[in-house]
Structure 1
């Protein structure tokens, strides 16, 4: 495989290829996650009880507030990359979470509770939701890594993360607790937030560290929450696992997760949950691009499995230089689907 052949073969299968189809700039309120204005924007905006900042991680507004606090606290490092913090590469996390909320993926799909439903507790995030559990490791863990890295300075209170009502052992709730359970993952997120403090801060370095931590979070959470997939339809469960695999390929390019790029990319993700009978590329209420993303993700995942992970290894090797990553991103942005 030459690098160009590998890039073209892999990117042709990649979900981000379809994202390049978008010619619509996302403008207005739609650029932000749902209820963004209602979320706490500072740690001291959360309730304080018994000298502790109390964060309900299983409430959408609070989890969104964790992201908003991270974005606000890190804004000073990304000022050169876009106005109004739009160049902050942390935008990918809350925007992805907002998409999960908007499409109903954070609700209880076991049928056991009304958690996450409009006629029930809309802002509730279910511990039975595969997406919500996976996201915990891309929300609370990065947040605690940032606390440890000193992003928020010296806080006047300790932080208390409230546990879910069940399956409490699947999660950690403090810097000390998380560090004892998953030191490598906490180290990765701490390293990302520390590089932002560096005087020789480079965006590519920050993207590399962020994606490394992101991929580690998914790798840690994926086997842990296999049992939550049983609550999803077969097409939705397949999509979830395909998406997790696809992120590995996107990560290797140091793809920028700023506000505009993420919004453009996310427009091609399915805007509702998949149900039995959904067979891409023939889902009638999905756009051709959304259907194509699902087909591409499935093909990419299958190809990687069939090669025993060799496809991803080759892709990572091709992306190991700045020139390779630049070419990879260019292909992700410009390659048009046939």
Structure 2
């Protein structure tokens, strides 16, 4: 027998219909004009200060523009010449090597410090504040301080201790100058990474460790089977951001070695700055900047995909 309209159950519950009617009358659910007043200026500023310069740079990268005067189209000649330039290749090799070493070092040190701070020790809040100080200091100012330490204090201490290998400034040694840059970069970047790792460690319930202790798990087993898998997402964030930031290293090198001795510590960013703004190679180094942008994006996306896949299958 067919169901009549009087006995058919309503599609929308009466209380839900009442709320829906009230929302329609009051205009609830509509986007407030304040939202547009906040978002539109941000979008315009992003377009003017980011998108327009990027598109302009891509345009001039296909010319012979020197930063002044007239110019003509050379199309892809600048891009082809980049792969034949030994100085460019050397800068890329140094940048990649530095970024890999610094990324591994900063994450190992930061995770170790975060594990220590997360333990039940005194003055946790104060220690977190102290470890975060390097992140708010100017890299150039701190870099000049480290420059003095590496060039004066460290050689003096090494000489008195009879360590001849460190009796002269490592920044003047083409084979060791990169070590000083890594030390400064890791010291400064560890502050941010420690905070991220601490946030991840605080999301792990204490009951999990208690259950593992009852099962006889030791510190190493707890870290490998509980701690690291549960903070995998935070590890991914730190790895991606660290590698991206270290690939763009600039201030650290300017303060410590200025690319020297010779060009042994010249990064891609420093090469682009020198050639583009000081060497009359504006279009050529703009093409280099476009290539570098694509390289960083590709590496970051690949790294993110691999690490996120590792999160879903930690074993």
Q: TM-score, normalised by structure 2?
A: 0.32
Whichever of the two has the greater Rg, that structure is: 2
Q: TM-score, normalised by structure 1?
A: 0.30
